[in-house]
């Protein structure tokens, strides 16, 4: 293992897309940002210096941060933000993990342009559990707004209504050809006939789950969220914001240009977006300038396509990589996740109400100082540990919708407390007074096993009998289906404060978030380490 040093300078850069220009916040002037490479067991030091007018923090999404919550990154959860002109060194060791992850800003909506690939290679000399590819290519999917994204969300919060959807999706920074703007080509992936490539696909979009496919080529899925899966073949993947997927693709079509597409998956009745980003897979030696073989992206409400992909994911569960699913459960939790409406006298456009989101009917209130510091230094009055382990009884849902549609949420900075090494089963149930919707729920600090998933209401009597406790996929971001549920299991073996939230940024902003507090253990190496000296102050 070795120590890797990176410098991330957060700077403004002017960027032109869709024939329109605006300044964007970037790392080192790049969009997407620089790819961070490390190997399993390496220690990574990233010095982040803030040269913009916004407060900044960076999250290493999916890195477990064992005992180093100080380096996790969500603003006001594990650290105060890095203020303009200041810097902070994120210092963490990558233990027992390898694969594709992402890093991204974890404050405001800066993630829109402040994100990049985080690639953890196996230890030197350790092979992949699949045939070695000829080349590896990060494929970062994102969204693009012509207007300033901070203005987009601030306007929405003021009005009480939903924010504008993006103007385009992007593949490695490019939307591909779009109507009424001829000047821009898309991303090109050069391939040689007969060779196999490993695509490290990352969804860094703010608000969209995406379908991804390549015309004329089959993808072999080998890993998701930096955990190996049983390889399977598919022509379409579905990937939620925060998720990653490694796919092998063999260039077996001799020649030509084939379209890659990233298109939205939204099967909520309020879905509004149908933009598709395109790129080109290009056999070297081929002359044509635009793809000659096109994809047919699934319709945006193609629930079946998404489910068949998600249901095909199984942990590799080999001798080397066993699926260690907790079988005995200490905390049996059921959290509703969903959208609702609260009163807002100043929200004229929304008739005196505003969209809110909640977990177990609690709309999370961001503190003004970091929860992890308050916890470590025993500062009272910042949070409470009375987060409900089950929905309030008044919150009676049927068919994914609460019976009492006018029910307002309560507000608070509530945490759910877990003893060190206790085991958790958590059912995430979609509800919503507005409409049921997908919720890619991300848990910081842990990987979890996705042991069950279904449509409608979770039934605590019958559904657990159908759980997969043998080879469930292991991830860091769950796919809660529209009007359905997901059951996950994990071991609370990482002391600290760990954020959990919907990775659709608009839902997080509205309050679909909470945090777990995991106590120190009693043994050696079972405590949260002390904070680094340069930890930013609020
Ligand atoms: Cu990738 Cu809390 O986020």
pLDDT in tens, the chain (538 residues): 899 999 999 999 999 999 999 999 999 999 999 999 999 999 999 999 999 999 999 999 999 999 999 999 999 999 999 999 999 999 999 999 999 999 999 999 999 999 999 999 999 999 999 999 999 999 999 999 999 999 999 999 999 999 999 999 999 999 998 877 876 678 999 999 999 999 999 999 999 999 999 999 999 999 999 999 999 999 999 999 999 999 999 999 988 999 999 999 998 877 677 789 999 999 998 776 677 788 889 999 999 999 999 999 999 999 999 999 999 999 999 999 988 888 888 998 888 888 889 999 899 999 999 999 999 999 999 999 999 999 876 555 544 444 444 467 889 999 999 999 999 999 999 987 777 889 999 999 999 999 999 998 899 999 999 999 999 999 999 999 998 999 999 999 999 999 999 999 999 999 999 999 999 999 999 999 999 999 999 9
pTM reported for the whole predicted model: 0.97
| Distance in Å, CA 500 to ligand 1 centroid | 8
Is the CB–ligand 1 distance for residue 375 below 6 Å?
no
Q: Where are the domains of the chain?
A: 1-124, 130-315, 331-518
What's the pLDDT at 172? 98
DSSP letter at 19? T
| Distance in Å, CA 177 to ligand 1 centroid | 30
ipTM topping 0.95: yes
CA distance 189 to 201: 13
Is the CB–ligand 1 distance for residue 442 below 6 Å?
yes
- Atom of ligand 1 at shortest range from CA of 61: 1
CA distance 227 to 240: 16
Tell me which CATH homologous superfamily contains domain 130-315. Answer: Cupredoxins -  blue copper proteins (2.60.40.420)
What's the pLDDT at 405? 46
Dihedral sign of CA atoms 340, 342, 347, 351 in order: positive
Helix (H, G, I), strand (E, B) or coil at 425: strand
Strand 43-50 to 20-27 pairing = unpaired
Is the CB–ligand 1 distance for residue 111 below 6 Å?
no
Is the CB–ligand 1 distance for residue 61 below 6 Å?
yes
- Atom of ligand 1 at shortest range from CA of 104: 1
DSSP string, 472-520: B-EESEEEEPTTEEEEEEEE--S-EEEEEEESSHHHHHHT-EEEEEE--
CA distance 38 to 4: 7
- Atom of ligand 1 at shortest range from CA of 477: 1
Which of left, alpha, beta for 426 (phi over 0: left; psi -120 to 50: alpha)?
beta
**Domain 1-124 matches domain 331-518 at the CATH topology level:** yes
Give the CA count within 13 Å in the CB-facing half-sphere of 416: 23
Is the CB–ligand 1 distance for residue 104 below 6 Å?
yes
| Distance in Å, CA 442 to ligand 1 centroid | 6
Architecture of domain 1-124: Sandwich (2.60)
What's the pLDDT at 404? 45
Is the CB–ligand 1 distance for residue 388 below 6 Å?
no
Query: Strands across the sheet with 115-121, in order?
Result: 36-39, 115-121, 99-105, 58-61
Which residues are paired to 258 by β-bridges? 281, 293
- Atom of ligand 1 at shortest range from CA of 111: 1
Does 2.60.40.420 match the CATH number of domain 331-518?
yes
Is the CB–ligand 1 distance for residue 76 below 6 Å?
no
| Distance in Å, CA 72 to ligand 1 centroid | 9
What's the pLDDT at 436? 80
| Distance in Å, CA 106 to ligand 1 centroid | 7
| Distance in Å, CA 202 to ligand 1 centroid | 13
Contact in structure between 33 and 19 (CB atoms under 8 Å): no
- Atom of ligand 1 at shortest range from CA of 73: 2
| Distance in Å, CA 350 to ligand 1 centroid | 29
- Atom of ligand 1 at shortest range from CA of 242: 1
Contact in structure between 44 and 38 (CB atoms under 8 Å): yes
Ligand 1, atom 3: closest residue by C-alpha: 61
CA distance 100 to 246: 7
| Distance in Å, CA 113 to ligand 1 centroid | 14
| Distance in Å, CA 353 to ligand 1 centroid | 28
CA distance 401 to 102: 33
| Distance in Å, CA 73 to ligand 1 centroid | 9
Is the CB–ligand 1 distance for residue 445 below 6 Å?
no
What's the pLDDT at 400? 47
Main-chain phi, psi angles of 463, to 5 degrees: -65, -40
Is the CB–ligand 1 distance for residue 59 below 6 Å?
yes
Is the CB–ligand 1 distance for residue 444 below 6 Å?
yes
| Distance in Å, CA 17 to ligand 1 centroid | 26
Is the CB–ligand 1 distance for residue 115 below 6 Å?
no
């Amino acid at each position: 293992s070795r120590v890797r040093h990176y410098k991330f300078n957060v700077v403004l850069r002017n960027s032109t897309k869709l024939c329109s220009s605006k300044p964007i916040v970037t790392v080192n002037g790049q969009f997407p940002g620089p790819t961070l490479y490390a190997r399993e067991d390496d220690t990574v030091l990233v010095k982040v210096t803030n040269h913009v007018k916004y407060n900044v923090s960076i999250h290493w999404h999916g890195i477990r941060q064992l005992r180093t919550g100080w380096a996790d990154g969500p603003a006001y959860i594990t650290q105060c933000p890095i203020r303009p002109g200041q810097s902070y060194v994120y210092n963490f060791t990558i233990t027992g993990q390898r694969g594709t992850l992402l890093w991204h800003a974890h404050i405001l909506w800066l993630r829109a342009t402040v994100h990049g690939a985080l690639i953890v290679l196996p230890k030197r000399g350790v092979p992949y559990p699949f045939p070695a590819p000829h080349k590896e290519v990060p494929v970062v999917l994102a969204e693009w707004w012509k207007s300033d994204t901070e203005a987009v969300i601030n306007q929405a919060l003021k009005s009480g209504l939903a924010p504008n959807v993006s103007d385009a999706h992007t593949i490695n920074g490019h939307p591909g050809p779009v109507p009424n703007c001829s000047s821009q080509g898309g991303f090109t992936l050069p391939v040689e006939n007969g060779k196999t490539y490993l695509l490290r696909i990352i969804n860094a979009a703010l608000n969209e789950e995406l379908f991804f496919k390549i015309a004329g080529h089959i993808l072999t899925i080998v890993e998701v969220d930096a955990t190996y899966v049983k390889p399977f073949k598919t022509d379409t993947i579905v990937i939620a914001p925060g998720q990653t997927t490694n796919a092998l693709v063999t260039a077996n079509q001799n020649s030509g240009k084939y379209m890659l597409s990233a298109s939205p998956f939204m099967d909520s009745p309020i879905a509004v977006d149908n933009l598709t980003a395109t790129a080109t897979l290009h056999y070297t030696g081929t002359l044509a300038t635009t793809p000659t073989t096109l994809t047919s992206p699934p319709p945006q409400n193609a629930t079946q396509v998404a489910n068949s992909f998600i249901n095909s994911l199984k942990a590799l569960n080999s001798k080397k990589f066993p699926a260690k699913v907790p079988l005995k459960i200490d905390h049996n939790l059921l959290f509703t996740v969903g959208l609702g409406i609260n009163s807002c006298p100043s929200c004229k456009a929304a008739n005196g109400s505003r969209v809110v989101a909640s977990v177990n009917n609690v709309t999370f209130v961001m503190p003004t100082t970091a929860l992890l510091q308050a916890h470590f230094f025993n500062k009272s009055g910042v949070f409470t540990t009375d987060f409900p382990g089950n929905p309030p009884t008044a919150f009676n849902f049927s068919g994914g919708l609460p019976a009492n549609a006018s029910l307002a949420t309560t507000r608070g900075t509530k945490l759910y407390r877990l003893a060190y090494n206790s085991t958790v089963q958590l059912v995430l149930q979609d509800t919503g007074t507005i409409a049921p919707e997908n919720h890619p729920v991300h848990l910081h600090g842990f990987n979890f096993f996705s042991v069950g998933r279904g449509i409608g209401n979770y039934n605590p009597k019958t559904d657990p009998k159908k759980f997969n406790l043998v080879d469930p996929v292991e991830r860091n971001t769950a796919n809660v289906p529209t009007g359905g549920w997901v059951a996950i299991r994990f071991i609370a073996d990482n002391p600290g404060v760990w954020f959990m939230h919907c990775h659709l940024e608009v839902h997080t902003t509205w309050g679909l978030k909470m945090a777990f507090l995991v106590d120190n253990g009693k043994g050696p190496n079972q405590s949260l380490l002390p904070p680094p000296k340069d930890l930013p102050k609020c």
